[in-house]
Amino acid sequence: MPNFGTRLRAAMEASGPLCVGIDPHPALLQAWGLENSPAGVRSFSLTVVEAMVGVAAILKPQVALYERFGSAGFAVLEETLSLAKSAGILTLADAKRGDIGSTMAAYATAWLDDASPLASDAVTLSPYLGYESLRPAIDLAAQTGRGVFVLGLTSNPEGPSVQHVGGEKSVAKSIIDQVTAENAGAEDMGHVGLVVGATIGDAPAKLGIDLSATKAPLLTPGLGAQGATARDIAAAFAGSYSQVLGTSSRDILKVGPSVNALRAKAAQVRDELLAAG
């Protein structure tokens, strides 16, 4: 299978640089007239997949919102991932896994191994036990043509208390430097991406971080409901905008359950991202 960065670039060129979250929050389920149950989550998820064909490069199911229903929730997630694969849409499991040794290897197998029913095209990872603790997932992703997205600079209020410590020798810069080294041989984008909040402002400049040098796909949560516009993202990621996956969940999902309304809203957001570049 081709490198994940190559597959993602092809999807971005074909459908636009948009990542749509599949976030079956109780409030959204209620707004759609669905039960807060595995059956409600199933209807919600399969509708989103159907609506996003051709308008989103990648879909990002929020694993926690399936996990809360135990095995029944994971069964729905497996079906959602399978349907997306059949529809030709890439998937990113938003699981934020991070551990050490054999446990990390088991997480890698769960999300990135061909034989796993949860196998996704990519998974989000937390590097705060040390970047090299993620090695089993990074290496397995490379072997299977899949990808990982490492938390780099997040926009939650608590993030800077850890990520920004050290200024130009910050924790975030150390992680991002290691991602840059990982992707060094890629012609375009590598298989190790970064999660960088859409509302981080000038944090990369202050921390001496050059995102364009990373060759990393950049997942930028915060578009729409969290306040960032396509123009904001284009300004904040001026040198690396071609790597950006604008990420929107609630702002798109709130217009459901109509497939046509969801598709139209996603297309609008996608077109705004394209125009901003």
User: What is the C-alpha to C-alpha distance for residues 246 and 17, in angstroms, rounded to an integer?
Assistant: 6
pLDDT of residue 167: 81
pLDDT of residue 248: 96
pLDDT of residue 14: 98
pLDDT digits (tens, 9 = 90+) for 81-92: 999 999 999 999
DSSP 165: T
Q: What does the pLDDT average to over 8-29? A: 98
* Domain count within the chain: 1
pLDDT digits (tens, 9 = 90+) for 40-62: 999 999 999 999 999 999 999 99
pLDDT digits (tens, 9 = 90+) for 142-192: 999 999 999 999 989 999 999 999 988 999 999 999 999 999 999 999 999
Q: What does the pLDDT average to over 127-154? A: 98
Pick from 260, 252, 169, 244: which is nearest to 17 by CA?
244
pLDDT of residue 225: 67
pLDDT bracket for residue 1 (50, 70, 90): confident
- Contact (CB, 8 A) for 214 and 174: no
pLDDT bracket for residue 72 (50, 70, 90): very high
pLDDT digits (tens, 9 = 90+) for 219-276: 999 887 677 899 999 999 999 999 999 999 999 999 999 999 999 999 999 999 999 9
Catalytic residues: 96
DSSP 61: E
3-state secondary structure of 239: coil
pLDDT of residue 269: 97
* Cα Rg of the chain (Å, integer): 17
User: What is the C-alpha to C-alpha distance for residues 65 and 260, in angstroms, rounded to an integer?
Assistant: 24
SS3 annotation, the chain: CCCHHHHHHHHHHHHCCEEEEECCCHHHHHHCCCCCCHHHHHHHHHHHHHHHCCCCCEEEEECHHHHCCHHHHHHHHHHHHHHHHHHCCEEEEEEEECCCHHHHHHHHHHHHCCCCCCCCCEEEECCCCCHHHHHHHHHHHHHHCCEEEEEEECCCCCCHHHHCCCHHHCHHHHHHHHHHHHCCCCCCCCCEEEEECCCCCCHHHHCCCCHHHHCCCEEEECECCCCECHHHHHHHCCCCHHHEEEEECHHHHCCCCCHHHHHHHHHHHHHHHHHHC
Q: What does the pLDDT average to over 96-124? A: 98
User: What is the C-alpha to C-alpha distance for residues 219 and 198, in angstroms, rounded to an integer?
Assistant: 9
Report the CATH number at residue 89: 3.20.20.70
pLDDT of residue 213: 97
The 10 Å CB-count burial string (b at 16+, else e) for 10-37 is ebbeebbbbbbbbbbeeebbeebebebe
- Domain range for 169 is 4-276
Q: What does the pLDDT average to over 199-219? A: 94
User: What is the C-alpha to C-alpha distance for residues 136 and 133, in angstroms, rounded to an integer?
Assistant: 8
